[in-house]
Amino acid sequence: MKVNPNFLKKVKKYGAFDISKCFNCGNCTAVCPLSAEDASFPRKMIRYAQVGAQKEIESSLDPWLCYYCGECSDTCPRQAYPGEFMMTLRRYLIAKYDITGISGFFYRFPWIQNILVAGIFAFSLGAFAVYKGDFQELAAKIELAFPVYVTLAIAAYVFTFYRKTILDKAKKILISFDFSNIKETLIHGLTQKNFSGCSDTDRTRWIAHLLVMSGYTLTLVISNLHLLEPLKKHYGISDFATFLVFYAAFAILAGGFIMMYRRAKKKAQSSSFSHSTDWLFVVMLFLIGFTTAVVHISNMILGPQDPRVEMLYKINIAVEVAWIIIIVPFTKWIHIFFRPMAVYLRNLKKEEAQGKLFSMPIPGLK
Amino acid sequence: MSENKEFVCDSLIIGSGIAGMQAALDIGDAGYNVIMVEKSPSIGGKMISLSKVFPTLDCASCITTPKMAASSHHPRVKAFTYSEVEKIEKTNEGFEAEIIKKPRFVIESECISCKKCEESCPVHLEDEFEFGLGVKKAISIPFTNAIPQLPVLDESKCIRCAACARVCPKDCIDYLQKPEKIKIKAKTIILATGYEITPMTAKKEYGGGRLINVISSLQAERLLAPHGPYGKVLRPSDGKIPDSIAYVQCAGSRDESIGIPYCSRVCCMYAVKQAMLLSGSLPLSEITIYYMDIRAFGKGYEQFYNQARAMGINFVKAKVAKITEDQEHNVILRIDKQEEGSVPMEVKHDMVVLSQGLLPSNKNFFGLNIEKNEYDFVASSKPDFSPALTSTEGVFTAGTACGPKDIPDTIMEAGSAAMEAVNYLKSVKI
Alpha helices in A177-225 (DSSP H): 179-191, 194-197, 203-224
Are A159 and A152 in contact by the 8 Å Cβ rule? The answer is no
| Shortest CA distance from A38: residue in chain B | B343
The residue among A275 and B299 whose pLDDT is bigger is: B299
pLDDT the model gives residue A174: 86
Cβ-based contacts of A82 with chain B (< 8 Å): none
B361/chain A closest Cα distance in angstroms: 23
Q: How far apart are CA B88 and CA A157, in angstroms?
A: 72
Domains of chain B: 2-101+179-194+361-427 (3.50.50.60), 103-178 (3.30.70.20), 198-358 (3.50.50.60)
Q: Give the tens place of pLDDT for each residue, B73-118.
A: 999 999 999 999 999 999 998 999 999 999 999 999 999 999 999 9
Using the Cβ of B251 and the Cβ atoms of chain A, whether some distance falls under 8 Å is answered with: no
pLDDT the model gives residue B196: 96
pLDDT the model gives residue B64: 95
Between chains, do B321 and A30 touch, taking CB under 8 Å as contact? yes
Which A residues in the span 9-48 are in contact with B, Cβ-Cβ below 8 Å?
A: 23-32, 35-38, 40, 43
Using the Cβ of B250 and the Cβ atoms of chain A, whether some distance falls under 8 Å is answered with: yes
pLDDT the model gives residue B127: 94
pLDDT the model gives residue B430: 56
Q: How far apart are CA B333 and CA B351, in angstroms?
A: 11
What average pLDDT does this structure show over A332-343?
A: 91
Instruction: Supply the DSSP symbol for B159.
Output: -
Instruction: Supply the DSSP symbol for B382.
Output: B
Using the Cβ of B185 and the Cβ atoms of chain A, whether some distance falls under 8 Å is answered with: no
Lowest-pLDDT choice from A43-52, A109-118, A136-145, A266-275: A266-275
Q: How far apart are CA A342 and CA A36, in angstroms?
A: 14
Is it the case that residue A130 has pLDDT exceeding 70?
yes
Using the Cβ of B292 and the Cβ atoms of chain A, whether some distance falls under 8 Å is answered with: yes
Using the Cβ of B336 and the Cβ atoms of chain A, whether some distance falls under 8 Å is answered with: yes
Q: Give the tens place of pLDDT for each residue, B40-63.
A: 999 999 999 999 999 999 999 999
| Shortest CA distance from A78: residue in chain B | B256
Angle formed at CA B164 by CA B159 and CA B165, multiple of 5 degrees? 100
pLDDT the model gives residue B304: 97
Of the partner residues B321, B334, B343, the one whose CB lies closest to the CB of residue A37? B343
pLDDT confidence bin for A206, thresholds 50/70/90: confident
Q: Give the tens place of pLDDT for each residue, A32-43.
A: 988 887 788 899
pLDDT the model gives residue A360: 77
Is it the case that residue A201 has pLDDT exceeding 90?
no
Residue type present at position B126: E
pLDDT the model gives residue A341: 93
SS3 B109: coil
Is it the case that residue A284 has pLDDT exceeding 60?
yes
Rg (CA), chain B: 23
A35/chain B closest Cα distance in angstroms: 7
Listed as ranges, residues in chain B with pLDDT below 50 are none
Are B242 and B298 in contact by the 8 Å Cβ rule? The answer is no
